[in-house]
């Protein structure tokens, strides 16, 4: 029997023969010491990854049992008995094996004051509280659009006491739950960004937000944003995928962006904007070749478009009058 | 010490165990490890063997010894001059996200997978203040190859599969997404790069201790079993924004298990029970 086969065999035997609470103890001990006897795991990939691969090869019944053991381990974890890294690893393993029961456990831990005890070494970078909570939120995001997660994220995001350093993650999580309502969350994030300037990597958040809410939704709902945030949104968030440099690949953009005005949406019925605008847009993007001045250009584009639209309507009316 | 002899006898029952013993033999014969380290290692093996449980495999005993003193049993091979070398580490993308990225700053969800767009973002924007922790594996060291030699893998497609083959990485067996992490130039200027020995590569990796003119070890080519790309190990070092990422893509799962018996025929000092006498001075 080769080593690979024997580890796989040993894992199957272990999961089938041990009770859930024994497996849970085995996981806690393994993540605490790095030794998962009777298995001997490689130094890399991570133990979580190796356990996930072993998990993939067991039967559905054993998979369900192993998932329950993972959840049990997360419940058993307590701050006085284990390092924060153990909960970090168990949470990551639950994400890899899709043990959705972890959501309730992490919800309780994040909303209780248990993890606050880790803040003792705050000031160091990264401190244990930060190191753990960023991972727990990233794990929870993997279970979206689960309703419980959305509700939890909303509470944390709008909480005055929750650490604002996680606001970028929470914003994206909330957008994943409810992309149509991104305008509800963006102002709070922008306020936090202004207050803790430099804390967030806006280019990453912008790129992720563009992926999550999609251009069409962003454009369709932008008028729900307070005007002072509209400009900020265009300037900050239309910076990666939607920057003029990239828009050449998306001829629908001009259409989507200008249709944010309800009047335009009505009027587009009489104006073949789709094809004309895409040609116009592409020409402009090619000319600009960079994202600087994007906001000004978008604004002038809209004005120009409105004028052209008015001109067509006036000419139409004149023609009708003559008839 | 009968315990060490018994441990060797248990190890030699499997092809993987004989590969480990051949590497130990090589490193003793070629004096690649300080005798103090070897004596301490065999002393710990003897203690662990005497305390073993009936079901415990000999590889598990070696592993537990290495984990019990993680800093003592890695990076003990000969120094390699790291003055101007450009090093690269090939690692799992999921591991990088798990261990080395501040996900509050680079806000990716943890699911074990990233989209191609997200990997492109990491390539394009870099770590931008979100690099965290250290470059290491489960033990406090990591494997690297020479950047200029490694670049040959970009000549064709399926780069992740080629990287696995030329670096002998059977421990990436499934469909892991691999990335190349390029180290900043001069990171090992003041030392810290070592030729690998059995303490680093055994018992879990496809590994063959090798002496080469440039001082680097050589990975085993998984197809031909010949020496492939240069390899070295370093103690854990801080992971910073100066490191760069290059996407290697997703692996195709290994079609068949690695043939350990075939590897045994390629060692300079293949293990035989009678060669235990070579270990005796250190036991």
Asked if the structure places residue A236 within a domain, the reply is no
| pLDDT surpasses 50 at B136 | yes
Q: What is the pLDDT of residue B195?
A: 97
A206 and A304 belong to one structural domain: no
Q: Domain for residue B173, yes or no?
A: yes
Is A247 found in the same domain as A187? Answer: no
- State how far the alpha carbon of A237 is from the alpha carbons of A171, A220, A247, A250, in Å: 13, 15, 14, 16
Cα-Cα-Cα-Cα torsion B75, B81, B84, B86, nearest 10 degrees, comes to -30
Do A268 and A191 share a domain, yes or no? no
**Residue-range definition of the domain harbouring residue B56:** 1-92+134-283
Domain count, chain A: 3
Query: What value does the mean pLDDT of chain A take?
Result: 80
Residue A180 has pLDDT above 80, yes or no: yes
CA dihedral A7, A13, A14, A15 (to 10 degrees): 110
Mean pLDDT of A152-176: 95
- pLDDT the model gives residue A261: 44
Contacts for B96-99: CB closer than 8 Å, 24+ residues apart:
B96/B179, B96/B181, B96/B245, B98/A46, B98/A48, B98/A49, B98/A92, B99/A46, B99/B133
For B177, counting Cβ atoms within 10 Å of its Cβ (0-12 exposed, 13-18 middle, 19+ buried), the class is: buried
Residue given tokens 């879990």 in the structure block: B204
Using DSSP, state whether A211 is helix, strand or coil.
helix
Span B123-133, pLDDT tens digits: 989 999 999 99
Q: What is the average pLDDT across A38-51? A: 93
Q: Is residue B22 part of a domain?
A: yes
Residues A23 and A67 in one domain: yes
Does residue A229 lie in a domain region? no
By C-alpha distance, which of B136, B172, B138 is closest to B248? Answer: B172
Using the 3D structure, point to which of A215, A232, A256 is the last residue of a domain.
Answer: A215
**Is residue A110 a part of any domain in this protein?**
yes
Residue A323 has pLDDT above 80, yes or no: no
Report the pLDDT value the prediction gives residue A270, as an integer from 0 to 100.
Answer: 27
> Are A319 and A183 within one domain?
no
Asked if residue A312 has pLDDT above 80, the reply is no
Q: What whole-number percentage of chain A has pLDDT above 70?
A: 70
- Residue B197 belongs to a domain: yes
Q: Distance (Å) from the C-alpha of residue B32 to the closest C-alpha of chain A?
A: 22
Paired tokens of A145: 């659009």
A234, part of any domain: no
A296 touches chain B (CB under 8 A): no
Give the structural domain span for A77: 1-142
Cβ contact B125–A3 (<8 Å): no
State how far the alpha carbon of A281 is from the alpha carbons of A114, A249, A275, A302, in Å. Answer: 54, 11, 10, 11
Alpha-carbon gap, residue B118 to B162, rounded angstroms: 23
Q: What is the mean pLDDT of residues B82-88?
A: 86
Q: Does B240 touch chain A (CB under 8 A)?
A: no
Same domain, A75 and A153: no
Are the C-beta atoms of residues B88 and B180 closer than 8 Å to each other?
A: yes
Q: Indicate whether A125 and A25 sit together in one domain.
A: yes
- State residue A322's pLDDT score: 67
Q: Decide if pLDDT at A258 tops 50.
A: no
Indicate the pLDDT class of residue A275, thresholds 50, 70 and 90.
Answer: very low
Supply the ipTM of this predicted assembly: 0.93
Distance CA B124, CA B246 (A): 9
Domain total of chain B: 1
Instruction: Provide the whole-model pTM.
Output: 0.86
Would an 8 Å CB–CB cutoff place A160 in contact with chain B? no
- CA pair distance B47, B30, nearest whole angstrom: 26
Answer whether residue B4 is part of any domain: yes
Judge contact between B196 and B207, C-beta under 8 A.
yes
Whether pLDDT at A264 is above 70:
no
Q: Which residue has the higher pLDDT, B151 or B201?
A: B201
Task: Tell me whether residue A95 is in a domain.
Answer: yes
What's residue A218's pLDDT?
Answer: 77
DSSP 3-state of A205: helix
In a domain, B57, yes or no: yes
Q: Whole-angstrom Cα distance, residue A212 to residue A225?
A: 18
In chain A, residues with a C-beta closer than 8 Å to the C-beta of B60 are 37-38, 40
Q: Which of A103, A126, A142 is the last residue of a domain?
A: A142
Is there a single domain that holds both residue A118 and residue A170?
A: no
Mark whether A83 and A104 lie in a shared domain. Answer: yes
- Asked if B56's CB is within 8 angstroms of A38's CB, the reply is yes
- Set of chain B residues whose Cβ sits within 8 Å of the Cβ of A47: 138
Is residue B105 in some structural domain?
no
* Residue bearing the bigger pLDDT, A265 or A106: A106
A178 in the same domain as A59 = no
All residues of chain B having their beta carbon less than 8 Å from the beta carbon of residue A201 are 105-106, 125, 128-130
The verdict on residue B109 lying in a domain is: no
Asked if pLDDT for residue A190 goes beyond 80, the answer is: yes
* Chain segment B224-282, per-residue pLDDT in tens: 999 999 999 999 999 999 999 999 999 999 888 899 999 999 999 999 999 999 999 99
The answer to whether A169 and A141 are in contact (CB under 8 A) is yes
What is the enclosing helix (H) or strand (E) of B160? helix B159-166
Indicate if A120 and A166 belong to the same structural domain. no
Res A278 pLDDT > 60: no
Q: Is residue B57 very low, low, confident or very high in pLDDT (cuts 50, 70, 90)?
A: confident
Same domain, yes or no: A8 and A135: yes
- Whether B123 is in a domain gets the answer no
């Amino acid at each position: 029997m080769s080593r690979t086969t024997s580890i796989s065999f040993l894992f199957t035997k272990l999961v089938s023969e041990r009770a859930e609470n024994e497996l849970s103890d085995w996981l806690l001990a393994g993540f605490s010491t790095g030794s998962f006897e009777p298995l001997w795991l490689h130094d890399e990939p991570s133990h979580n990854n190796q356990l996930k691969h072993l998990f993939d090869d067991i039967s559905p019944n054993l998979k369900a049992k192993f998932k329950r053991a993972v959840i049990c381990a997360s419940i058993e974890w307590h701050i006085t008995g284990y390092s924060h890294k153990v909960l970090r690893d168990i949470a990551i393993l639950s994400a890899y094996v899709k043990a959705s029961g972890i959501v309730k456990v992490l919800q309780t831990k994040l909303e209780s004051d248990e993890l606050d005890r880790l803040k003792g070494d705050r000031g160091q970078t990264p401190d244990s509280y930060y190191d753990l909570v960023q991972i727990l939120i990233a794990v929870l995001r993997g279970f979206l659009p689960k309703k419980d997660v959305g509700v939890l994220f909303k509470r944390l995001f709008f909480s005055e006491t929750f650490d604002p350093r996680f606001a970028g993650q929470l914003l994206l999580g909330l957008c994943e739950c409810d992309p149509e309502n991104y305008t509800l969350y963006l102002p709070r994030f922008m306020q936090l960004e202004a207050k803790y300037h430099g804390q967030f990597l806006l280019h990453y958040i912008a790129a992720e937000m563009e992926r999550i809410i999609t251009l069409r939704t962003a454009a369709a709902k932008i008028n729900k944003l307070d005007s002072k945030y509209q400009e900020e949104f265009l300037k900050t968030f239309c910076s990666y995928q939607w920057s003029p440099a990239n828009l050449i690949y998306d001829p629908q953009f001009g259409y989507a962006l200008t249709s944010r005005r309800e009047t335009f949406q009505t009027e587009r019925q009489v104006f073949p904007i789709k094809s004309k605008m895409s040609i116009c847009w592409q020409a402009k993007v090619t000319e600009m070749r960079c994202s600087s001045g994007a906001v000004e250009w978008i604004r002038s584009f809209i004005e120009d478009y409105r004028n052209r639209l008015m001109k067509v309507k006036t000419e139409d009316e004149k023609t009708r009058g003559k008839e | 010490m009968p315990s060490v002899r018994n441990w060797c006898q248990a190890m030699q029952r499997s092809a993987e165990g004989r590969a480990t013993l051949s590497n130990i033999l090589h490193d003793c014969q070629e004096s690649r490890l300080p005798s103090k380290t070897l004596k301490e290692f065999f002393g710990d093996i003897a203690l662990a063997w005497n305390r073993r449980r009936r079901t415990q495999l000999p590889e598990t005993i070696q592993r537990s010894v290495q984990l019990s003193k993680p800093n003592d049993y890695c990076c003990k091979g000969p120094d390699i001059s790291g003055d101007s070398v450009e090093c690269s580490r090939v690692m799992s993308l999921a591991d990088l996200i798990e261990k080395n990225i501040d996900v509050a700053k680079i806000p990716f969800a943890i699911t074990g997978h990233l989209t191609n767009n997200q990997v492109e973002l990491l390539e394009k924007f870099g770590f931008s203040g979100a690099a965290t922790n250290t470059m290491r594996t489960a033990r406090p060291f990591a494997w690297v190859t020479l950047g200029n030699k490694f670049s040959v893998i970009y000549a064709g497609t399926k780069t992740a599969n080629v990287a696995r083959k030329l670096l002998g990485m059977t421990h990436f067996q499934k469909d892991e997404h691999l990335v190349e992490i390029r180290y900043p130039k001069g990171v090992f200027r003041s030392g810290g790069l070592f030729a690998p020995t059995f303490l680093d590569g055994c018992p879990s990796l496809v590994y063959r201790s090798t002496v080469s003119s440039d001082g680097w070890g050589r990975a085993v080519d998984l197809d031909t079993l010949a020496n492939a790309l240069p390899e070295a190990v370093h103690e854990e070092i801080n992971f910073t924004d100066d490191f760069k990422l290059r996407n290697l893509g997703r692996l195709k799962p290994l079609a068949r298990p690695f043939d350990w018996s075939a590897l045994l025929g390629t060692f300079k000092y293949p293990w035989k029970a009678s060669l235990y006498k070579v270990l005796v001075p250190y036991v």
